[in-house]
Copies of this chain bind each other. A is one copy, B any other.
Amino acid sequence: MWSKSSDAFLACEATFEAAKIILFGAPFDSTTSYRPGSRFGSAAIRRESYGIETYSPYQNRDLTECAVLDCGDLELPFGDPSAALSVIETQTRTIWDAEKIPFMLGGEHLVTLGAFRAVAEKYPDVAIFHLDAHADLREDYLGVPLSHASVIRRCWEIVGDGRIFQFGIRSGDREEFRWGKEHVQTRMFDLQGWEETLEKWGEKPIYLTLDLDVLDPSIFPGTGTPEPGGVRFEDLRRVVTGICQNARVVGCDVTELSPPYDVSGVSTMVACKIVREMLLALGHEG
């Protein structure tokens, strides 16, 4: 009777049983060092998703035909990163127990660590494809090890050398780059080489973590640490679609939309469209 609109992301209302992918939000930004607000990211993506279509002319697929459930946002304690990561880890494990793919919406980039801990436990041979403007390889940030600026370093502590592939990186301190040269593979400034890397990695599992600030701030100003000189929307769309279609993605996340800085609303639409394309590419049969 009531035509009440759902609060799920675009048509992502499968039953838990039927769902192949579980979408959920991790609204946390307590370690953001420059401009906070990414805590509102997942809610904004969900809410504004009705501004785009469920159908993608790029892939000729429709979200109404995919088995995705949007479970909403986790309730995370502000000011306690360790506890927040535990909640995320636990929930991700639940999704894995049910044999579904976790798709997390940030929040700041630190939230990746919670999800990745659970994924790496289940898939010890997993690799990380990391799309970002920032290397995120610091040992710590102002003495704090659980920081958005250290998240990939923390992930490295789990998987070790040769398992992290970075693309689009254009910012970091000298030490991060020095350290990175020895421990991770980094493509500077653009996203080139992803296909070769993917091919080499083959059938082994991949966790895809996307910090949306890899995009140029002309198209994605609404983020905590905008870094000029980034990639274009079309570049990113093609790469994430390619990875999601061609690799064995066992988990992924999209982070760092900060709605208070998205004054025109365009950054949120960008996030919505990227998430839609990833879901469609992940959710296709065969």
Chain A interface residues toward B at CB < 8 A: 1-5, 7, 24, 29-37, 39, 43, 47, 50-55, 57-58, 62, 71-75, 77-81, 83, 91, 94, 110, 141-144, 146-147, 169-174, 177, 188-189, 216-219, 221-222, 225-229, 233-234, 237, 260-266, 269-270, 273
**Is the CB–CB distance between B216 and A5 below 8 Å?**
no
Q: Which residues of B contact A225 (CB under 8 A)?
A: 51
Given contacts A78-B33, A266-B228, contact A72 B5 (CB under 8 A): yes
Q: What would 10 A/B residue contacts be, using CB atoms closer than 8 Å?
A: A30-B30, A30-B31, A32-B36, A36-B39, A52-B171, A55-B174, A62-B174, A78-B144, A80-B81, A217-B266
Q: How many copies of the polypeptide does the oligomer hold?
A: 6
Alpha-carbon distance between A71 and B75 when the two chains are bound, in angstroms: 23
Alpha-carbon distance between A72 and B5 when the two chains are bound, in angstroms: 7
Q: Which residues of B contact A234 (CB under 8 A)?
A: 229
Distance in Å: Cβ of A174 to nearest Cβ of chain B:
5
**Is the CB–CB distance between A229 and B237 below 8 Å?**
yes
Alpha-carbon distance between A5 and B72 when the two chains are bound, in angstroms: 7
Alpha-carbon distance between A142 and B285 when the two chains are bound, in angstroms: 31
Given contacts A31-B79, A47-B47, contact A177 B57 (CB under 8 A): yes
Known contacts A79-B144, A217-B219, A222-B264; can you find 11 more A-B pairs with CB under 8 A? A29-B36, A30-B31, A32-B36, A34-B50, A36-B37, A75-B142, A83-B144, A217-B270, A226-B266, A228-B266, A228-B269
Alpha-carbon distance between A83 and B80 when the two chains are bound, in angstroms: 12
Q: Which residues of B contact A81 (CB under 8 A)?
A: 79-80
**Is the CB–CB distance between A226 and B142 below 8 Å?**
no
**Is the CB–CB distance between B264 and A261 below 8 Å?**
yes
**Is the CB–CB distance between A217 and B51 below 8 Å?**
no
Given contacts A53-B171, A57-B188, contact A228 B273 (CB under 8 A): yes
6 nearest A-B residue pairs (beta carbon): A4-B72, A31-B79, A3-B75, A221-B264, A36-B36, A7-B7
Q: Which residues of B contact A91 (CB under 8 A)?
A: 1-2
Kindly identify which residue among B24, B35, B219 contacts A260, using a CB–CB cutoff of 8 Å: B35
Most buried by B among A30, A33, A79, A171: A79
Most buried by B among A75, A172, A218: A218
Distance in Å: Cβ of A50 to nearest Cβ of chain B:
8
